């Protein structure tokens, strides 16, 4: 059994002082006590560690490569996607693993304990399968075994190049499966998780309404009942227009009219919704998977945060393209996007809960649900997913209650994260992953190889 003692901790009932947390050998919290005497690992501020609910780890290696202007008069998401496809032509399974390992390490060092990996890079360049159809899924699992992060693996089904069922384009061949192949791939990917600790889990990710037929979406829904089901939805205006033209409904409208989203569903982005769509979808309990840094970087647009929140909508945070992996900055970026649009302040704050607290609480709830993981609070029985933040610094010293999260999110940086545990595995100490240097060295070797071939 491990013991962690925190000067201050965020518990389900609120802020508490002198908190003792006991963690069993199985990685679950076995006891939480307040007003306890210092013992074991002593930290300043202890928070439940959040889930990163949406990531494509391989994209970490192309961060910063798409910021120059292309030949088109206007640079958009779609030119970024072209660069991504070119980059993909060169990635080997070894590269996929080295990049995922680095990205997961950075997630842990940023205060995330879980990587929900929406994984669609399945095949060889050109589309031929690897001997093992789940080769790259196994590489994501191998990365998690090395970094110690909690993994929810979402193998993605990608059938078509557009809503009209056009064939996959040249850049998309590595993603494609028929529904039958996808069933095989999902089983094999799930088998790869058996080598991981028991907090790892599976889910299913029909890529988007562009990439899967309605029948395939229904198939995906049926494959792992009770496990997370994620889909990209309404990220870009051309995508909304394409769905509207082909199916006579906007994407969110179409989903609501043809399926029954519920808390099992996480809808990634949801950037372009009408007010009516926002209210209807929020009422289902489905989670909005927001990726504010990536959405800003790609110029997607601004989420209907106030309407979603007022309608009781649930949300969580993901790092998506991994252009920058920062939990604090995801939360800050969401709030600032709303302030800029509404010329207001403290948009997500509620009576009795500050902006930072409301955002963090929302992310814990939505993240746990989206990952299908027993996490999201410092409470007996849950996985010990914990994040300790230093208080002896200019940002947090002397702050009380919710001011701690507000200062951390709006005035702080990632360097304030000191320790992270994922299901009791204490893998970040003093702000660094226990295998930091070797993981970075392996990543640099991978980038060196890629620079030569690209």
Any idea which residues carry the catalytic annotation?
269, 320
Per CB under 5 A, which region of 29-37, 271-279, 312-320, 346-354 contacts Zn ion? 312-320
Residue among 137 and 354 whose Cβ is closer to Zn ion? 137
Q: Which stretch binds Zn ion (CB under 5 A): 61-69, 130-138, 314-322, 358-366?
A: 314-322
**Closer to Zn ion at the Cβ: 116 or 347?**
116
Residue with tokens 């990996």: 117
Give the nearer residue to Zn ion in terms of CB position, either 320 or 419.
320
Q: Which is nearer to Zn ion, 320 or 329 (CB)?
A: 320
CB of 179 to Zn ion, least distance (A): 21
Residue 150 near residue 115 (C-beta atoms within 8 A): yes
Residue 247 · residue 268 · CB < 8 Å = no
Q: Secondary structure of 187-218 in the HEC alphabet?
A: HHHHHHHHHCCCCCEECEEECECCCCCHHHHH
DSSP string over 244-287: HHHHSS-HHHHHHHHS---TTEEEEE--S--HHHHHHHHTTTPE
Q: Total binding residues for Zn ion by CB under 5 A?
A: 1
Options 31-39, 75-83, 242-250, 313-321: segment touching Zn ion (CB under 5 A)? 313-321
Residues 204-243 interacting with Zn ion (rule: CB under 5 A): none
Q: Is 97 in the site for Zn ion (CB under 5 A)?
A: no
How near is the Cβ of 86 to Zn ion at its closest, in Å? 18
* Neighbouring residues of 189: CB distance < 8 A, sequence distance ≥ 6: 119, 134, 137, 138, 141, 153, 155, 202
Least distance CB 338 / Zn ion (angstroms): 21
Alpha-carbon gap, residue 300 to 305, rounded angstroms: 14
Residue whose Cβ sits closest to Zn ion: 320
Query: Any bridge partners for residue 33, and if so which?
Result: 20
Q: Which is nearer to Zn ion, 136 or 407 (CB)?
A: 136
Q: Annotate each residue in 315-354 with x if it binds Zn ion (CB under 5 A) or - if it does not, as one string.
A: -----x----------------------------------
3-state helix, strand, coil in the chain (%, to 5): 40, 20, 40
Least CB distance to Zn ion at residue 232 (A): 5
Q: Which CB atom, from 320 or from 406, has the smaller least distance to Zn ion? A: 320
Shortest spacing between CB 325 and Zn ion, in angstroms: 14
Closest distance of CB 298 from Zn ion, Å: 10
Alpha-carbon separation of residue 346 from 288, 409, 423 (angstroms): 20, 13, 33
Shortest Å, Cβ 238 to Zn ion: 16
Give the pair of three-digit tokens for residue 162. 């557009």
Within 10 angstroms of residue 337's Cβ, the number of other Cβ atoms is: 19
Distance CA 125, CA 171 (A): 9
By C-beta, is 221 or 320 nearer to Zn ion? 320
Q: How distant is the alpha carbon of residue 441 from its chain centre? A: 25
Binding footprint of Zn ion on the chain (CB under 5 A)? 320
């Amino acid at each position: 059994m491990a013991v962690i003692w925190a000067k201050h901790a965020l518990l389900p009932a609120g802020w508490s002082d002198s908190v003792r947390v006991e963690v069993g050998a199985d990685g679950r919290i076995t006891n939480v006590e307040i007003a306890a005497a210092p013992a074991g690992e002593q930290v300043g501020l202890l928070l439940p560690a959040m889930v990163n609910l949406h990531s494509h780890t391989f994209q970490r290696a192309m961060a910063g490569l798409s910021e120059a202007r292309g030949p088109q008069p206007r640079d958009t998401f779609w030119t970024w996607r072209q660069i991504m496809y070119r980059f993909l032509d060169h990635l080997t399974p070894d590269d996929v693993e080295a990049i995922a390992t680095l990205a997961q390490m950075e997630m842990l060092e940023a205060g995330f304990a879980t990587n929900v990996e929406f994984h669609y890079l399945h095949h060889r360049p050109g589309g031929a399968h690897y001997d093992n159809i789940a080769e790259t899924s196994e590489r994501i699992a191998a990365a998690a075994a090395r970094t110690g992060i909690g993994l929810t693996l979402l193998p993605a089904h990608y059938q078509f190049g557009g809503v009209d069922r056009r064939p996959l384009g040249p850049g998309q061949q590595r993603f494609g499966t028929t529904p039958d192949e996808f069933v095989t791939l999902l089983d094999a990917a799930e088998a790869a998780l058996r080598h991981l600790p028991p907090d790892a889990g599976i889910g299913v990710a029909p890529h988007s309404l562009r990439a899967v037929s309605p029948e395939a979406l229904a198939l995906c829904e049926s494959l792992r009942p009770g496990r997370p089901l994620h889909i990209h939805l309404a990220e870009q205006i051309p995508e909304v227009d394409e769905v509207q033209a082909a199916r006579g409904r906007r994407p969110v409208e179409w989903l609501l009219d043809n399926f029954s989203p519920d808390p099992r569903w996480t809808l990634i982005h949801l950037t372009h919704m009408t007010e009516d769509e926002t209210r209807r979808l929020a009422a289902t309990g489905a989670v909005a998977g927001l990726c504010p840094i990536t959405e800003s970087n790609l110029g997607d647009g601004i989420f209907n945060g106030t309407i979603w929140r007022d309608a009781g909508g649930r949300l969580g945070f993901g790092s998506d393209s991994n252009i920058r992996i920062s939990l604090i900055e995801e939360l800050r970026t969401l709030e600032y996007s709303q302030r800029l649009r509404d010329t207001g302040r403290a948009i997500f704050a509620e009576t009795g809960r500050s902006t930072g607290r409301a955002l963090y609480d929302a992310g814990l709830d939505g993240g746990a649900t989206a990952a299908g993981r027993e996490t999201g609070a410092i409470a007996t029985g849950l996985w010990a997913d914990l994040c300790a933040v230093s208080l002896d610094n200019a940002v947090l010293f002397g702050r009380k209650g919710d001011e701690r999260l507000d200062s951390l999110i709006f005035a702080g940086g990632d360097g304030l994260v000191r320790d992270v545990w994922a299901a009791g595995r204490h893998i970040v100490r003093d702000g660094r992953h226990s295998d930091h240097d070797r993981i970075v060295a392996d990543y640099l070797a991978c980038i060196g190889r890629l620079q030569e071939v690209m």
